[in-house]
Amino acid sequence: MSVKNKIQELAQREFEQVVRHRHHLHSHPELSFEEVQTSLYVQQQLKSMGIAEVSVMADTGVVAMIRGQHPEKKTVALRADMDALPIQETNEVSYKSTRPGVMHACGHDVHTSCLLGAASILQQARQDFEGSIKLIFQPGEEKIPGGASLMIRDGVLQNPAPRHILGQHVMPSIPVGKVGFKPGMYMASADEIYITVKGKGGHAAMPDKNIDPILIASHILVALQQIVSRNCDPRLPCVLSFGKIVGMGATNIIPDEVKIEGTFRTMDENWRAEAKKKMKKMAEAIAEGMGGTCEFTILQGYPFLRNAEDLTHRMKAAAIDFLGEENVVDLDIWMAAEDFAFYTQQVDACFYRLGVRNEARGITSGVHTSTFDIDEQALLTGSGLMAWLALQDLRST
C-alpha cells in the first residue's frame, strides 16, 4: 500500500472520532485566552494516542511532538486555533453550544478537531516518514495581541525550529471536499483605531457658544479617507473603515465629546506604519484648527499574512495529488486578518482554506454568525489532507 493510500485509509478510520472531537468542542466553547478545559481535552486526547511529548505554552496553548525516523532531520509544524466567539448560537443541533453567549462561530472547533485527527494519523504512520512534526494548538486567535504572538514569545518556533508551518481555516464560500490556496500576499494586517474628539457642549440653538465635537468628528472622518485614496499606492490593498460613532447628544444638545472606533487594514508593513502616523497627525490638526482636541489611539493588531511562494505551490500540488485537481481552487486576496500571520513573519508558511459549504443541506452561513455550521465531511478532508501535506513537506529537499 502506498503512503498516500495509507493516509487516506487512516483518515477514513479516524473520521468518526474526529466528528466526536468536533461535537465535544462545539458544545463546550471557551473564549479567547480562557480555553482551560479545551486545552485539557486536547492534552488528554494527544496522550491517549501515545504521543508522549505534550507540553503547555502561553497558559492554555498545547504543543506536542511526533517523531518519525531520523527525527532530527527536519521539522514541520501544524497549527490549529482553539478559541470561540461571544455569539449566542441559534442552530438547533445535538452538539449546540451549552454555554450561553459563547459559540464556535469561526470554525476553530473544526481546526482543532482536524489537527487531532491528523495527529492520530501521523502517530500511526510515523514509521513511514523521516523527521518530526510539531503540533501547535494555540489560544486566542480572535483577540489582540493574538495567541500566536504569545506562543512565539514563549518559544514555540524553537527547540526544534520548524522548517515550515502549515495552517488551515474553514471557508463557507467553498464547497465541502474542496480546498483553496493563494501564494504570496493573502490576508491583511488589522489595527484598531479609537478616536475621542473633545469640544464644548451646550444648547444646539447657540452653536456659537459651543465647540461642536460632532462637526469636528465629521471633518476628521472624511479627511482620514484621503489617507487611503490620495496617499496609498493604488496598487496596494488598503481599507479604512469606521463602524462606531457615539456622541450622546440630542436634537437640541451638542455633546462635550464624540467617540469613534474603526479598523485599518493593508498588506505592506512600511505603509502600515506610515499611514498610522499620517492619520494621527491629520486628526489632531483638524481638531485643533476647529477649536477642539483629539485623542487618537491605535491598538496594534496582526501583521499581514504572506504565504511563501514555493512552499504554497508545492502544497497546492500535493493537495491536487491527494484530493484531485477538481477539488483544489485558487483564492484571491482577502482583507480579513488572522494571527497566523505572526508565524509567517518568522518562518516560511502556507495558510490554506478548507471548504465546508453544502447548499443542498442549507449549510451556507458565514463565519462570525449565529447560524454558522459545516458539512462534517470537511473533517475527513481536513484531517487527512493536513497529515498528507506534512509528510510531503518532510519529503521535500
Q: How confident is the model at residue 397 (pLDDT cuts 50, 70, 90)?
A: low
- pLDDT single digits (tens) 353-375: 999 999 999 999 999 999 999 99
- Write down the pLDDT at residue 378: 98
- DSSP code of residue 250: B
- Write down the pLDDT at residue 344: 97
Among 129, 38, 123, which residue's Cα sits nearest to residue 84?
Answer: 38
**Topology, domain 190-302:** Alpha-Beta Plaits (3.30.70)
34 has catalytic annotation:
no
Task: Give the 3-state secondary structure of residue 36.
Answer: helix
Q: Where are the beta strands (DSSP E) in the chain?
A: 53-57, 61-67, 75-81, 132-138, 164-175, 179-181, 184-187, 190-198, 202-203, 238-246, 253-254, 257-266, 293-302, 305-307, 328-330, 349-357
CB 23 within 8 A of CB 94: yes
Domain boundaries, the chain: 3-188+304-395, 190-302
Question: Residue with C-alpha cell 495552517?
Answer: 167
Q: From residue 131, how far is each of 158, 162, 174 by CA, in Å? A: 15, 10, 33
- C-alpha to C-alpha distance for 196 and 82, rounded to whole angstroms: 34
Q: From residue 213, how far is each of 192, 241, 262 by CA, in Å? A: 21, 20, 17
- C-alpha to C-alpha distance for 311 and 288, rounded to whole angstroms: 51
- C-alpha to C-alpha distance for 286 and 296, rounded to whole angstroms: 12
Catalytic-role residue among 141, 212, 338, 376 = 141
332 has catalytic annotation:
no
Mean pLDDT of 82-107: 98
pTM of the model: 0.94
Mean pLDDT of 44-67: 97
Q: Which long-range contacts (CB under 8 A, 24 or more apart) does 49-56 make?
A: 49/119, 49/120, 49/123, 50/123, 51/119, 51/123, 51/135
- C-alpha to C-alpha distance for 174 and 154, rounded to whole angstroms: 35
- pLDDT single digits (tens) 373-384: 999 999 999 999
**Topology, domain 3-188+304-395:** Aminopeptidase (3.40.630)
- Write down the pLDDT at residue 52: 93
- C-alpha to C-alpha distance for 278 and 259, rounded to whole angstroms: 19
Give the list of residues 6+ apart from residue 155 with CB closer than 8 angstroms, or none. 57
Q: How confident is the model at residue 396 (pLDDT cuts 50, 70, 90)?
A: confident
Catalytic-role residue among 83, 256, 268, 339 = 83
Mean pLDDT of 255-268: 97
What percent of the chain has a predicted confidence (pLDDT) above 90?
99
- pLDDT single digits (tens) 123-179: 999 999 999 999 999 999 999 999 999 999 999 999 999 999 999 999 999 999 999
Bridge partners of 352? 168
Mean pLDDT of 10-24: 98
- pLDDT single digits (tens) 307-347: 999 999 999 999 999 999 999 999 999 999 999 999 999 99
